[in-house]
Every structure is written in structure tokens, then in C-alpha cells.
Amino acid sequence: MSEKLTVTERDTLIAPLLASGWTMVDGRDAILKTYVFANFVEAFGFMTKAALWAEKLNHHPEWSNVYKTVEVTLTTHDCDGLSALDAKLGAKMDRLVEG
């Protein structure tokens, strides 16, 4: 079972994600980011790559895709909040987009 991040861990792990465009979700201990791609194929390609990493980490996002836009919410349900897995998957998703 994952553990909820401490205040210090949030400063270390979540703050860089917030600086790169992730936002806190109102009313939940979760982070959200919207990725916009050139077209549907690029959006779906991102989701495919991210899905492989999610499976490796055994940590799966809440996400949706409409045409070229992918909206991702990360939280860890078994600890009812943000864990190190969310920080790891969020950072990996950002790196996938960067190249």
C-alpha cells in the first residue's frame, strides 16, 4: 500500500510538477494536467506510451481524450491522496511529451 506524501515530500516531489503546469484539483488531494497535441494520432500515441509506464508502475491515471487533448488526473486511491507514485508518473508523462 502506498503512503500519502508528507508536507516535506510534497515540497520535493509535487512542487516541480506544479511548476511545469500541473495544478491541484479542487476538493481532492490530486493533481491535474491537460496536454494538447497537434492531432489525435499524437494524443493517442502519448496515451499509449503513458499506459505502458502506468502498467510498469502499477499506478493508473484517471484520464480522458477528446481529439487532440488528453486530460490527466493523478491520485493514489489506496491512500486517498497524493503518493510518490503520482509524482513519478506525472514526471514521466512530462518527459514523454518533451521527447
Domains of the chain, first to last: 7-98 (3.30.1360.20)
pLDDT at residue 99, as a whole number: 74
Q: Which residue's entry shows cell 506525472?
A: 90
Average pLDDT rounded to a whole number, residues 66-83: 97
The cell numbers describing 50, all together, are 503513458
Residue 65 has pLDDT above 80, yes or no: yes
Percentage helix, strand, coil for the chain under 3-state DSSP, each rounded to 5: 50, 20, 30
**Residue 1 has what pLDDT?**
76
pLDDT digits (tens, 9 = 90+) for 37-50: 999 999 999 999 99
Three-state DSSP state, 33? strand
pLDDT at 51 over 80: yes
pLDDT in tens, 2-42: 899 999 999 999 999 999 999 999 999 999 999 999 999 99
Which of 71, 44, 76 has the alpha carbon at shortest distance from 60? 76
Which residue bears the cell 499506459? 51
What single-letter amino acid sits at 18?
A: L
Q: What is the pLDDT of residue 3?
A: 96
